Amino acid sequence: MPSMIPLQAGEAAFVLLFGLLLFAIGIALIVWTYNDAQKNSSHPAFLWAIVVFLAPLLGLVLYFLLGRDQTY
């Protein structure tokens, strides 16, 4: 059985900071989508925010393709 090597203090801090960064990016995507959908979409902004919350990358792509009204 392979031995388990616990994370050292520096590695644990890096993992924690990386996780917090990903969490902050996810929250920022949700907030941006909600604000943008209020301005540029005829669909409910709250629903687009939920879609991005449940599936961040796919939800963002769907929002850009389907959610935004064509205003050029």
Query: What does the pLDDT read at residue 32?
Result: 96
Q: Are the CB atoms for 30 and 52 separated by under 8 Å?
A: yes
Of the pLDDT bands very low, low, confident and very high (cuts 50, 70, 90), residue 9 is low
Check pLDDT > 60 for residue 1. no
- Domains of the chain, by residue range, sit at 25-72
Q: What is the DSSP letter of 68?
A: S
Tens of pLDDT, residue by residue over 12-59, are: 788 889 999 999 999 999 999 999 999 999 999 999 999 999 999 999
Number of Cβ within 10 Å of residue 54's Cβ equals 9
